[in-house]
Structures are given as structure tokens and as C-alpha cells.
Amino acid sequence: MAQLNRLLAATDLSAPARHAAERAALLARSSGAALDLIHVSTPAPLAKLRQLISDIPPEVEQRLLDASREELQQLAATLQRHHGVAAGTCVVAGPLLDEIARQATALGADLLVFGARGAGFMRHLLLGSTAERMLSHSALPTLVVKQAAREAYKTLLVPVDFSAASYRALLNALSLAPQAEIILLHAASVPFEGKLRYAGVDDRTIHHYQVAAEAAALQQLQALRDSVGAAGERISLRAVHGDPSQHIIQLEQELDCDLIVVGKHGENPVEQLLLGSVTRHVLAESQCDVLVSH
């Protein structure tokens, strides 16, 4: 996502899910990117209706799709009035993840936008296995919107582990919010710290190792900042010691961040199978929006 060209925002048409559409429209307006809205009518609600009413006229499903299409077009019209952005609309029936992935591919989207709360699937976005599969397996960066979108992002927190994904996450942050202040964060650790304590190494020596680890991390952060050239002028650095999950949430609150940019996976090979544990924690515990990079 070196350059933002096309956004695809998914909505279940609930009122809370409109935050995602509003944020997508703000991003489209500021970047000049195209915006498309998608609503997927999944089979489950209709199947439940058939359990209650066995004899459903065949045209009912089409009427429901038509009603959703009209509602989505009304949402697009609202976005155009509020933000001056003309959004394309698409209403389809089928498996949610498959349809979103198919539409994203067909449009050539380079960013997916979801709401974190809603009436159906979106309400369980951060907790459900369906959402985790979407975030885990999507080849696209995914923006999870938690807050009402009133203005452009101002303060971004970008935790990094110095893997290859760290550089991509930073580039995605710069692309999504080209005017925002960015805080690069790394939580350093002392290798085998627990075993050192078990072996009787005194606290003073371990503290010395911690200070050295933070100093080394700060040098790596500086190199990462330097790698983006002039854009690095609005990037500040934080090297700390301890649990990255806790530091991320703490700094989000202390610095009043409105977006956290996290990588999809950690360095641990086991975490490659699903979302990394830090990413899952941030999605569940943070108050601000979260961009899951790739």
C-alpha cells in the first residue's frame, strides 16, 4: 500500500458500522482514492427464517436484496453529501469472506475497511473466528474502525519488531496518514531473562542488560526512521522494556493516539498460523482504530 488507490469498505448496514464507511470516505477524499461499499447478504438469516416459516415465497430473497441495495445506495448518497466522495456500491449474496475477497480482487482494492461493532458479523469482528480468518488470510492491509470518523488521523502508534513486516507497516502508516505524527515503538527484551534470574544473576546486572537492550533497540529504530527519508521528520522513537502488548495500550492512552498500525504476525513461527498474539491483544483492548498491516 505504498500509495492508496482504491478502498473497499464492508458494512452490515447497522448504524455503528457506518463509522467504517465514514472513515473510508475521509481517507478517499484526502488521498484521492476511489471508494467502493459492499454489503454481503449471508445465507444464515434466511435459513433461520425458513425454520420459522417453512413456506417462504421465492421472491422474498430478491426483495431483501433489493432493500439492502437501496439502503446501501442511501449510505453512498450520504457520504457524497458529507464528504464529496462518489462511492460505488455492491450488494451480493453468499459466504461473507469469499464475497469480500472476490470483490476486492475484482476491484483491485489495496485497503479493506471494516467496522469493529455492528448488528451482525461486524459486532463480533474482534472476537469471532470468521473475523480472525479474514484478518489472518487477507492479502490486503485491513483497517478496523472503532471510533466515529470526524477528522483525519493525527497521532499514529506503530509498534515494530524489526522484522521485514516492520518496514511495510511504517510505509502503510505514512501512506494512510501522510500528515500525522508517528510514534515508532519497540519493546526490547533481554534474551533468557527468566533463566538468568533463575540462575541467580542479580537485579543490578539484569538491569544493565535491559538498558543495553533498549539502547540497541533505539539504534534500530533510528535506522528504520532514516530509511523513509524526509518523512522521518514527523516520526518520534520509543524504546522500552517489557511486554509489548501492555506498552502499546498504555502509550495509546498516554499519547491520545487515534490509530495503531500493527503487523499481522509476530516473529514466532507458531504465530504465523493465526494473528500474532500482540495483534490480537491490540485489536481486543485498544480504544482507537487499528490498521492490520501485512
Instruction: Please list the pLDDT of the chain residue by residue as tens digits (294 residues).
Output: 668 999 999 998 888 788 999 999 999 999 999 999 999 987 656 566 666 666 667 677 778 888 999 999 999 999 999 999 999 999 998 888 889 999 999 999 999 998 876 444 444 444 444 556 667 667 789 999 999 998 999 999 999 988 888 888 999 999 999 999 999 999 876 555 666 566 676 767 666 667 787 888 899 999 999 999 999 999 999 998 888 899 999 999 999 999 999 987 544 443 443 456 788 888 888 999 999 987
Strand segments (E) across 189-254: 235-241
**Entry pTM:** 0.84
d(CA 95, CA 73): 22
Spell out the domains of the chain, with CATH numbers in brackets. Answer: 6-145 (3.40.50.620), 155-292 (3.40.50.620)
Cα 141 versus chain centre, distance: 7
d(CA 61, CA 66): 9
Residue 162, phi-psi category: left (phi > 0), alpha (psi -120 to 50), beta (remainder): left
In terms of DSSP bridges, do strands 142-145 and 289-292 run parallel, antiparallel, or are they unpaired? antiparallel
Return the sign of the alpha-carbon dihedral for residues 150, 152, 154, 160: positive
